[in-house]
Amino acid sequence: MSQNRLSRQQKSTLIIAAVIFVLLCACTIILLLVGRDLWESLRPVDPDTSVSPAAELTIAVSPGMAPTFNSLVEQFNAQTNTTPDGSLVLVRTVTMVPEKMVESSLDRPAFQAVAPDSSLWLNQIDRQWEHLQQALTQNQDAEGLIPIGNRRVSEPVRYATSPIVIAAWESVAYELGWHEQNISWQDIQRKATENPDFKWNHPSTGHASGLLATLAEFYAGAGLTRGLTTETATQQSTLDYVRAVEATVRFYGEGEDVILQRLSAEGRSFLDAFVTQEQTVIAWNKTAPAEELVALYPAEGTLWADHPLALLELGGAGEQPLTDNQRRTYQAFADFLTGPGAQQQLLDAGYRPADLTIALDQPGSPFAGTDKVDFHQPQTTLQIPSESVVEVVQNVWWYTKRPTNVYLVVDTSGSMEGDKIELTQMALQSFVEQIRGDRDQVGMIAFSNDAEVLLSLQPLDDAGRASLQSTIQQIYAAGNTALIDGVWEAYTELQLHGDSEAINAIVVMTDGHENNSAFSMRDLQARLQQEQTVRVVIFAIAFGSDADEALMQDLANMGGGQFRRADETEIEDLYKTISTYF
C-alpha cells in the first residue's frame, strides 16, 4: 500500500516537473523574440535596404547636371540624417531631359521634386498645370477629380548658374576675332555663310541651352535686351533675322551631356562651334585635350541656365500626397546644396555657385589663370521674357529654324519579322510626330533583297503626314539585307532634290549584316567624297545585338553624323531623340 502511495507521489512530481519545463521553454522563446526585436531596433540602419518611404525623396535631374548632382546626393545620404520620428532621410535621383520632366510632372510622377537646368521649365510646369486645372474645373463630368490648386511647383531654390555661350575651338575663336572683339550671332552667321565647311549648331529648344540661345537670337533680331513681347518677337524683321542665323546651322542636337560624349569620341573633327553652357567649356578643358575650347559670350547679350531645385505639390487624382517627412527631406537637401561645402564643389565642377560670397578667381578655381572663360562676362544679361512669350518663341521657332529633308531608311529583311518590325513601326511613327516644321520633308526607303523608295520626300502637312504614317503601317519583313543599296538610294534622292538651304539627312537602321547590295562601302565612300551637290548627314542605328556595329559606325563617320545602338526597349526613344537634330 505504501508502494502505491509512493508511485502516485512520483507521478505527481513528474507532472509538475514537465509543466515547469514547458513554462521555462516558453519564457526562453519569448525572451529570444523580444531580444531579437530589441536588437533590430538598435542595429544601425543600412540606407540602401531599410528606408522609410515617408522620408524618401526622389528628384528628377537634367542630364548635364546629373554627374555633379548625383555626387552631392551621395554625400548628403552618407550623413544618415533622421526625421523627428526616427525615419531615415534619403534622396534618390532619376535623370530626365527637361521636356520629359515637364510632361511627367503633370501626371502622377514617380518623383516629388525636380532639378532642371533652367527656371523656364518650372514656369512651363506651372503654366501647363494651371491649364489642366482650369479644364478640370470646367469639366462637370469628371467624377472624383478634384482640382488641388494652380501651383504645381513650390519652394524653388537656385543652387548654381552658368551663362549660355558659343563654344569654339581656340583656333576657330582666333579666326573669329575673339581677342579683338566680342563675337555676335551675326559673326557666326557670316562665318558659316562665307565658309561652307564651317560647322556650328545649337541644341533643340527642348534643352535649356537651345531654348535660351533661341531667345537670345530673338532678342538680337528685335534689337532689345529686355522687354521682349509677342509683338516684337513675331514682327517680320525679327523673324527674318532669326531665320538668317538659323539657316547656317549644320544640324540641331541634344544637351551638354551628349556634347561632351561626342567631344571625347570625335575631338577636333566635331563641330567648329556650338551653343552650350559655360560649364561645358570648363569640363572639356579639364581633360587636357589637344586643343581647348573657348567660351564666346554673345555681344548682343545672353541668358543664364540658373539650375533650380523645386518641390512638386502632389495630391491630385491617383497621386500620393507629399508627407511631412518628404518636405523635411527636401528642405534638408536644399540647405545642403546651398551650403558652403556643396557650393565649393559646384564651383570646382565649373558652375558659378549661387553663393555670391565665393570668389570665382580664388586659387584653384577653374575661372582663375585662364582666358578660355571669363568670369567678368557676360557684359549684358538678357531678361527672361514672360512664359507666354517663351511659348510663342518655341512655336515660332519651328517656322524660323533651318528646314529638313530626311529619308528614313529601314531594314525590312526577314530577321526583322515579329516584334522588331512592330517596334520599328512605332518608333518611326514617333519620329514623324516629333517633326513639326511646316517646311520639313520626310521620305522613306525600305531595304531587304534590294532598296525601294516607298515614299519620296513629303512636306509634313496633314496630307503628307497621313501618307507617311500609312506607309509605315504597311511595311513587312522578308528577304536579305541590301543595307548599302538603301543608303545609296537615299543619297541619290537627296542629290536629285538638290535643296542646299535645308539640313539633308539619312537615318538608317538595321538589325543585321549587309549581304545583298550591288554597291560596296568603298563605292559609297567614294561617292560621298566626290559628289556633293548638297551635303548629307548620316545617322546610323544598330538595332539589337546582331547588328553590324562596325559598318554602322563607318556609315556615320562617312556622313558626318552619329552612330547609336538600341535594343527593343530603346528604339522608340532613340528615334525621338534623333528627331531633335532636325
pLDDT of res. 149? 61
> Residue 165: beta bridge partners?
276
* Contacts (Cβ under 8 Å, ≥6 apart) of 272: 168, 169, 172, 198, 199, 200
**Looking at the predicted structure, is the pLDDT value of residue 491 above 50?**
yes
Query: Which range of residues forms the domain containing residue 553?
Result: 403-579
Q: Which residues contact 200 (CB under 8 A, 6 or more apart)?
A: 166, 188, 192, 248, 249, 250, 271, 272, 273, 274
Residues 565 and 459 in one domain: yes
342 and 220: one domain? no
pLDDT band at 49 (very low <50, low <70, confident <90, very high): very low
Say how far residue 442 (Cα) sits from the centre of its chain: 24
Q: What's the number of domains the chain is made of? A: 4
Answering whether pTM is above 0.85, one says no
Instruction: At 31, list the grid cell.
Output: 525572451
- Confidence (pLDDT) at 25: 53
- The pLDDT assigned to 16 comes to 53
Whether 285 and 300 share a structural domain: yes
| Beta strand segments in 254-357, E | 273-277, 293-296, 304-305, 308-312, 352-353
pLDDT of residue 144: 46
pLDDT tens for 535-570 read 999 999 999 999 999 999 999 999 988 899 988 778
Report, as an integer, the average pLDDT of 98-107: 93
Cell 510632361 maps to which residue?
103
Does 393 lie in the same domain as 248? yes
Residues 203 and 237 in one domain: yes
Within-domain flag for 140 = yes
Confidence of residue 121 (pLDDT cuts 50, 70, 90): very high
Q: What is the pLDDT of residue 567?
A: 87
Half-sphere exposure of 257 (CA within 13 A, CB side): 15
Mean pLDDT of 382-411: 92
Residue 360 in any domain: the answer is no
Asked, for residue 445, whether it belongs to a domain, the answer is yes
Average the pLDDT over 417-432 and give the result.
94
**362 assigned to some structural domain:** no
SS3 label, residue 165: strand
Cell of 369: 589663370
DSSP state of 303: -
Task: Calculate mean pLDDT across residues 91-118.
Answer: 95
Give yes or no: residues 424 and 545 share one domain: yes
Average pLDDT over residues 220-243: 95
pLDDT at 12 over 90: no
245 part of a folded domain: yes
Together in a domain, 39 and 65: no
Q: What is the pLDDT of residues 237-290, one digit of tens each?
A: 999 999 999 999 988 888 888 888 888 888 888 889 999 999 999 999 999 889
CA–CA dist 248, 239 (Å, integer) = 15
- The pLDDT of residue 421 is above 50: yes
The Cα 336–Cα 343 span in angstroms is 9
pLDDT in tens, 493-523: 999 999 999 999 999 999 999 999 999 999 9
Smallest Cα–Cα separation from 506: which of 481, 535, 471, 542? 535
Summarised one tens digit per residue, pLDDT across range 346-378 is 999 999 999 999 999 999 999 999 999 999 999
Residue partners of 85: CB distance under 8 A and separation at least 6: 325
Q: What is the CATH number of the domain that holds 125?
A: 3.40.190.10
Cα–Cα dist 259/276, whole Å: 8
